[in-house]
Amino acid sequence: MKRVMVAIFILWVVATMNFVIFQIVSPIDPVGVILDPRMPPEVRDSLRELYGLNRPMYERYLIYVKNMFTWSFGVSFRTMTPVVQELSYRLPATVLLLGSAMVATIFVGIPVGILAASRRGSKIDVLAIGSGLFTWGVPVFFIQLLFMLFFSYYFKAAFGFALFPVRGIVSVPPPSDAFVYTADVAWHLAMPLLTLVIGGFGFWALYTRNVLLDALTQDYVVTARAKGLSERTVLYRHAFRSTLPPIVTMITLGIPGIVTGAMITEWIFTIPGVGRWYLNSLMASDYPVVQAVLFIYAILVIVCNLAADILYGVLDPRIRVGARR
Amino acid sequence: MASLFTKEKRIILRRRIGNFWMEFRSKKIGMFGLGILIFFVLIAIFAPLLTPYDPIAKERIAQAFAKPQWVTVFPQYKDLPTTQKEVSYWNAEEGSEFVKNWGTTATVLYDTKARGTETVSVKLKDEISYLSIPPNNFYVTFQWGTTQVQDVEYSLQLKIQDPEGKDYVLWTQPTSKESVSQVVFVDSTNPFVITNLGYPTQTNLAEIIFSQKGEYALLLEMRFTPLSENARVQVTVEEGELIILGQVHGVLGTDNVGADVFADLVYGARISLMIGLLAAAVGTSIGILVGVIAGYLGGIVDEVSMRIVDVLMCLPLLPLLLALVYIFGKNILYIVLFIGVFGWQGLARVIRSQTLSLRERAYIETAKASGASGFYIMSKHVIPNVLPVALASLVLAVPGAILFEASLSFLGFGDPRVPTWGKMLQYSYGFGGFTRLAWWWIIPPGLAIISLCLAFVFMGYALDDIINPRLRRRR
């Protein structure tokens, strides 16, 4: 319960920061932008009402925080559509891309890590360590640009067609047949997905390897070996089982980073997702959208942190939540 | 600095650093990283010696998307020419009695004494030999002026004559009676120039004119029509240039405006190093301070700083920093500050827990008992003991900061006034580097980012190995 309170507190801080940044510090007068003369009068009135523009600063602030917490993000300056409605258009592409990327990355990374830990010093161990260091030093967007250069542009120059498309999530016009449509989406997502996996699996491989190596030196593993259990049983039943809590926690904690990081992926491959929407809105000073997306990102981080804490307690009963340093 | 320490302390310090260095030297991967780092530092320091071009000025020195010069070793590119720059050397071709001097600059003094009142034409000729495959761009620039204009109408025309004697009019000064002073710049891709010659606007004029190898000439033709017996005018042609833009250039070719890519790359090392080190230093300093103070003082200070850490950990950093940079302005110092100020939370937690355990040690109790102030204990006993951890964290924070800045720049939120590797990637992505297959513009900045970051990662890995001996030799 204390953690939930902390989460709400943090959310309030984020909302306040949003308010300070966009309504006080911002050089573009929000009142001026919102009261664009081209807007229809009824929209203008409802906006005035929503933001309390004719009221003093502290009242505006209270209204603002209330709006944020009640999911009333207002209307996009650019499209005049409610932000929540626009969000629902953008969400599917992002969820599809990130969901599949996350799953694929973990399903490549963790097995590599397990293999690396079980065969210390082998080639796969070098791969795990190398790819782990790689994730620290290599910008994923550069891998993506390279893939784009070679598999789309050079491929097209050499063979007359691109192996993977460079933009969008579906062909224009979209195919009508459901099966073809699915295949088309998969074809469009292949390159973003592949590059995200290449850029990200090393982190999981190295992390799993280190956690598992730590577990393999524990006394109970020595005991299990001494009992004459097969190496497979020791590895999967005993050692790997104990590494699940930290790995699951790490996955939960990693979700927000992947979501915000994929902003660049959406930018490069022109994927009509939330990240690209955010960037375009920011560049166009469409502040309602920017604030809403920032707030939603913050919620996502907070929820993931909370979930990580709870999951850790569930998976590892020895840990009392709140007792960690 | 030396006066800060007593002699004994200096000896101890030197010995500690010496031991540390001995250990570090035995880590191959760390030394490898250090080597790469030194390489980049040298590049950053000697950038002006490595390239004569200024990355900010974006001088057009070859055609857009010119390949690197060394590709000419491959047979399919062996004919590609570099930029040919011809400084004018004017000779009198016609009406030489009026040409007062010739050479890189020329003066023509017309008056009615020599030929009376007939219309006179004077031709200056500048010979140029072009011996490469047809180019895609050229431009001519020169400065001219008339003085002492008196009772005369004059006109000028600039032409290029190809080896077969065919003329192409590039520029015309219509008949005038006034004195004029102007700089002429004729670009072969200018649609007015192209349509004046009767070609459709998209025509590659340079290719048509310089279609053969041989002797070309620039002709500057002047016509003088006297209006009275005392007609007189002096025409001065200052030094001019014909530049036929090369299709290969330098170490790494050119970008979309024909500017040198290698200069961008070399100067980018300065910015990346500066951003990485400064931002990491800012973040690490805040992290040490907050961690030590929170851990040592405890109580409300601890509670408040750890809540701040909690909040910072929950911020979506990339989108937030993008918004901040957008609102505060795309300034390199802001970017450094933002990366630093939002990047200390993890270290603060680690340092705090270290401080918590240090606080219980006997020597600190002793110091406390002998009346040392909290500030004294923190600065003399706690901070020196957490420094190794902070050093490893500093080294590992640098690649993070470099990558972060590269991402910002790539998304168009970098400082527009400084050349950075991220910006090179942004431009190559946004301005046709991909459709033109300009690998020399795309791959080098990325590889530079990767190798500089990996240098720090390797060093950090080695440092971690030394500082956390628990992990050592575990495999």
Dump pLDDT digits (tens) for B322-376.
Answer: 988 988 888 889 999 999 998 888 889 888 888 888 888 888 888 888 888 888 8
A to B CB pairs, distance under 8 Å? 125
pTM of the model: 0.85
Q: How does residue B473 score in pLDDT terms, banded at 50, 70 and 90? A: very low
Residue with tokens 């022109």: A270
pLDDT at residue A325, rounded to an integer: 40
Which residues of chain B are within 8 Å of residue A145 when distances are taken between CB atoms?
Answer: 425, 429, 434, 442, 446
pLDDT at residue B472, rounded to an integer: 45
Radius of gyration of chain A (CA): 24
Averaged pLDDT, B209-218: 86
Averaged pLDDT, B243-257: 86
For B389, the enclosing helix (H) or strand (E) is: helix B383-410
Q: Is the pLDDT of residue B1 over 60?
A: no
Q: How does residue B227 score in pLDDT terms, banded at 50, 70 and 90? A: confident
CA distance B27 to chain A (A): 16
- Closest Cα to residue B408, out of B307, B313, B301, B334? B334
- B383 and B288 Cβ atoms separated by less than 8 Å: yes
- Closest Cα to residue A238, out of A221, A223, A214? A221
pLDDT at residue B406, rounded to an integer: 92
Provide the Cα torsion A72, A78, A81, A85; round to 10°: -70
Interface check A147 vs B, CB under 8 A: no
Q: What DSSP letter does each residue of A61-98 carry, written as one string? A: HHHHHHHHHTT---B-TTT-SBHHHHHHHHHHHHHHHH
Could you list the beta-strand ranges (E) of B191-261.
Answer: 214-226, 232-237, 241-244
Interface check A263 vs B, CB under 8 A: yes
Question: Do the strands B120-130 and B214-226 form a parallel or antiparallel pair, or are they unpaired?
Answer: antiparallel
pLDDT at residue B2, rounded to an integer: 46
- Cβ partners under 8 Å of residue B293, min gap 6: B301, B305, B378
Quote the mean pLDDT of chain B: 86
- B283 and B338 Cβ atoms separated by less than 8 Å: no
Could you list the beta-strand ranges (E) of A12-61.
Answer: none
- Closest Cα to residue B110, out of B208, B16, B10, B230? B230
Length of chain B: 475
Written as one letter, the residue type at A294 is: L
Residue A303 tokens, joined: 């929820």
Question: Which one of A29, A153, A287 would you mutate to disrupt binding with B, by most B Cβ within 10 Å of its Cβ?
Answer: A153
Other CB atoms within 10 A of residue B430 CB? 12
Question: Which one of B36, B315, B326, B425 would you mutate to disrupt binding with A, by most A Cβ within 10 Å of its Cβ?
Answer: B315
Written as one letter, the residue type at B379 is: S
CA distance A188 to B356: 52
Which residues of chain B are within 8 Å of residue A148 when distances are taken between CB atoms?
Answer: 434
ipTM over 0.95: no
Which residues of chain A are within 8 Å of residue B328 when distances are taken between CB atoms?
Answer: 25
Interchain proximity A294–B327, CB inside 8 Å: no
Quick: pLDDT tens for B47-81.
Answer: 888 888 888 888 888 888 888 988 888 888 888 88
Name the residue of chain A whose CA is nearest to B328's CA.
Answer: A26
Question: Which one of A24, A149, A150 would you mutate to disrupt binding with B, by most B Cβ within 10 Å of its Cβ?
Answer: A149
Give, for all 325 residues of chain A, the pLDDT tens digit. 677 887 888 888 888 888 887 776 655 555 555 555 566 667 666 666 666 666 677 777 787 777 778 777 777 777 778 888 888 888 888 888 888 988 999 899 988 988 888 888 788 888 888 888 888 788 889 999 999 998 888 888 888 888 888 887 777 777 788 888 888 888 888 899 999 888 888 888 888 888 888 888 888 888 888 888 887 888 887 788 788 888 888 888 888 877 777 889 999 998 888 999 999 988 887 888 888 888 888 888 888 888 888 887 777 766 554 444 4
Which residues of chain B are within 8 Å of residue A138 when distances are taken between CB atoms?
Answer: 450, 453-454
CA distance B320 to chain A (A): 7
Q: Which of residues 285-314 of A touch B (CB under 8 A)?
A: 290, 293-294, 297-298, 300-302, 305
Interchain proximity B434–A149, CB inside 8 Å: yes
CA distance A177 to chain B (A): 31
Alpha-carbon distances, residue B170 vs A165, B95, B185 (angstroms): 44, 22, 10
Other CB atoms within 10 A of residue A226 CB? 8
Question: Which one of B314, B354, B409 would you mutate to disrupt binding with A, by most A Cβ within 10 Å of its Cβ?
Answer: B314
CA distance B36 to A76: 48
